[in-house]
Chains A and B, each alone.
Chain A
């Protein structure tokens, strides 16, 4: 404060003792001085005083001084000190945080900084002014400018992002500051860029284009990767901003081989290392894991995910992550996040899932990593978030992979019982029937994921038998689940079992009939559906029971006599009613936690009671809901219209009519075919007849010809004879007929010859055309080759020219260095014209 007072004194002159001017008055006089002083020193001193006052009297300084300060930025650019005071004052006025000095001043509104920011950016030119100051090399000015921009962005992120975006050099200038050798400026710039890139895809792309990833990795590596300080964290936060929801940048990150560069981040500290996991290192690694997850997040496009996953496997990133899992002494939250990350890196990629399935944990005896993970999932003592992460990772491991699903179920089947080793199946069964509610839920959901879209495993799982008590007969897993559903009083266990059974029995008639055979199963569902409790969770239970009941109807294969499709439907209509049924079903999707779960494959819950519904179950529910309602309600219409006879299931009825129709049509077609066959036979006979008659006529014709030729000479000889009148007439008639025939014969012969000639001519023409085409092709090939050669030559020449160019330049340099003058004629230009 002494400094402040002495500053005031120099500016204002000594005031009369006892009559101290109020803050507002002082500010007014200072602003006046800045406006009107002609001496630079006076303006500078006034600015310094304003800066000193701007913390305590922020409202006054802001209200009166903001325009003046803008002017200073414009007019006094030559004087770094004044500029620096003005920038600091502006920064104080618009600071988003509250100052100590103004804490006891009730007149300062909470968002005062934001209000002044709004005033300041009304004229976008002001931002340009500040951006221009970034060109100033002076340390203080540059630092204050960066800080001011950071404050502005904190207050009005969206507006200022838009303004900066349309300044062609805006983002580039800030990016340049990352290369500033003065670390303070570089670090402040990082903070500025983090604010700048938040939620604006276009700015993110420009920043990436300006080599952001390269520069950030340079900084990260120079700071010692994960062992570095908070600067590493800032760099990673900026990277995270650039990649989040920005597929274009993710693509760039992948294509630019930056995934490889993340590897050194995951070097785990060795046991002998004293430093171990410092809090900063935990934050750094956590950020890096977030970046990896952003690349393979299930919300990205499938193409991006799978190519990133492949790269991560190939460069050894997956290996490094799994290493962290198996290392001892890793802090719990890093472990949790690593498990989540590994999950997303393997999700849906068979090669990566295989890789994960084959990892062995360094335990004694060695166990598969999956088993070790599941052990923590069903262990009450493990942290809740870790157990959730294991479930997610396990779900990812099973996702779209029939082999891993099958191998899980395999571990439960009697054939493979090897009592000595612990298997994932045994762990899940243990969890399913343990007294810990969360274990029940996790295990049921994990088991459920082994059945998704996999009818084979649904049937395999039916074969699983459990020995509940020593000596008693073993019961099936499904049976045991159904019993447990009726016995348990815990909401989460019930919901989990209902979800498991729904997934299991959907699209699987065998599972439905197995369920129907369990005593009390159907009765329990009906009772649950009918129950009339009023409570969100009760509604959910009723809805889920209704859902399972409808599955029993829809996928029923009528193999259980007491509960056929029709009898169950009648039961539902009579006991529950279609209206009530539909209403109860719709309750499920109204539940708050259902909607939460449906949003993302990963469970995002903070406390154990929030665990209730699984993402994949939501998908199943969405697909089946309308189908089930339709299947139940259509049945009702049929039921009312055809009351007498038991109405067949709708689908079946449809098929039956279809088959009947097709049958009729088939009959019709067969008849048609018969008719046609008969017709065909008749025609064939007629044809044979006509052929026969034809040959008969031919014979006759030959006979007649022979007769005619025989008679012709005799006719000649007897021409002189005066024979009877009739004979010559007859003869001439027959000879005339013969001549006609001959004439026609020769005619057609001629024609045939002419045609043959024509055909020959055309054939030869065709041949010659083909020949010429071949020639042309050969010619074309030659030309192509020549063109290719010429192109190569051209490239070689260009190369040569480049080398020549360099040599000439070198020689020129030498000449110049020896003091010779060189002609300005440049071969470089000639070369350019050539290209």
Chain B
């Protein structure tokens, strides 16, 4: 199977918010772990098509339990994106988002795309976290936000995320040669301009 891009994403968030379930839904049940509590990390993969191009997504589902937190940290650096998941029926999982975000920002490389997902939005009657709160948190920290419980929503989310990764990759690819040329031609000016652009690329 040929693909134009390959991205690695990780799923993070408190234990029991439905991370493994998201992975299962997304990978179309092609891969089904037997256990119900994730130990360490589990792996899933899926192809999606954007603009006629095949994009392979490798998704690593991490264990939410505190005991595995240090192991999870090893996965941030190599990931192009992270799905930060909380459970809208459990306030504490929302409260812990800040810790997760700090962890992710500290250990990842800076152009990692982070997407906030409020899971289990089908359980409206037991909702503890309002949709507006999730939106506010996302705005404050510059994340993309989505509430989901259905497969379709999730796939849409992943498409958005993959699109961002594609854009960010293209931007870097587009920048790289130009910067190199500049560096040769005008060393002094290039440093400033290069810095500015990397800064921009990082923000994207």
Contacts and interface: CB of A to CB of B under 8 A. Distances in A.
Contacts of B164: 832, 835
Point out which of B45, B71, B182, B196 has the most chain A C-beta atoms below 10 A from its C-beta: B71
A172 B77 contact: yes
A91 to B, nearest CB: 26
Interface in B54-85: 58, 60, 70-71, 73-78
B175 to A, nearest CB: 7
B200 A205 contact: no
Interface stretch (B36-44, B94-102, B129-137): B36-44
B125 interface: no
A209 B40 CA distance: 12
Interface in B146-204: 156, 159-160, 163-164, 166-167, 170-171, 174-175, 178, 181-182, 185, 189, 193, 196-197, 200, 203-204
Contacts of B41: 202, 205, 209, 248
B95 to A, nearest CB: 23
Contacts of B75: 206, 209
Interface string A770-814: 000000000000000000000100010011011001100110010
Contacts of A104: none
B1 interface: yes
Given A251-B31, A835-B164, A802 B170 contact: yes
Contacts of A611: none
Interface string A195-209: 000000110011001
A248 B34 CA distance: 12
A461 to B, nearest CB: 39
A809 B70 contact: no
- Interface residues of B: mostly helix, strand, loop or mixed? helix
A828 B171 contact: yes
Contacts, number: 105
A171 B43 CA distance: 18
A211 to B, nearest CB: 7
- Interface residues of A: mostly helix, strand, loop or mixed? helix
A604 B156 CA distance: 52
Q: How extensive is the interface on chain A, given as a class?
A: 35 or more
B175 A805 contact: no
A801 B51 CA distance: 13
B146 to A, nearest CB: 12
A257 interface: yes
Interface residues of B, number: 46
B182 A816 contact: yes
Nearest to B203: A829
A165 interface: yes
Point out which of B40, B76, B167 has the most chain A C-beta atoms below 10 A from its C-beta: B167
Contacts of B203: 828-829, 832
Nearest to B63: A202
Given A810-B178, A817-B182, A799 B43 contact: no
B43 A251 contact: yes
Nearest to B31: A251
Contacts of A791: 156
Contacts of B185: 817
Interface string A154-172: 0000000000011011111
B90 interface: no
A248 B42 contact: yes
B200 A202 contact: no
A828 B204 contact: yes
A775 to B, nearest CB: 25
B74 A172 contact: yes
A168 B170 contact: no
Contacts of B77: 168-169, 172
B66 to A, nearest CB: 12
Nearest to B107: A168
A835 B50 CA distance: 15
Given A816-B182, A835-B144, A168 B70 contact: yes
Interface of A: 165-166, 168-172, 201-202, 205-206, 209-211, 248-249, 251-252, 255-257, 301, 303, 791, 795, 798-799, 801-802, 805-806, 809-810, 813, 816-817, 824, 826, 828-829, 831-832, 835
7 contacts: A166-B70, A168-B73, A248-B42, A795-B50, A817-B182, A828-B171, A835-B164
Interface of B: 1, 8, 31-32, 34, 40-43, 45, 50-51, 58, 60, 70-71, 73-78, 107, 144, 156, 159-160, 163-164, 166-167, 170-171, 174-175, 178, 181-182, 185, 189, 193, 196-197, 200, 203-204
Given A166-B71, A795-B51, 13 more contacts: A165-B74, A166-B70, A168-B70, A168-B77, A169-B74, A206-B75, A255-B58, A802-B167, A810-B178, A813-B182, A816-B189, A817-B181, A829-B204
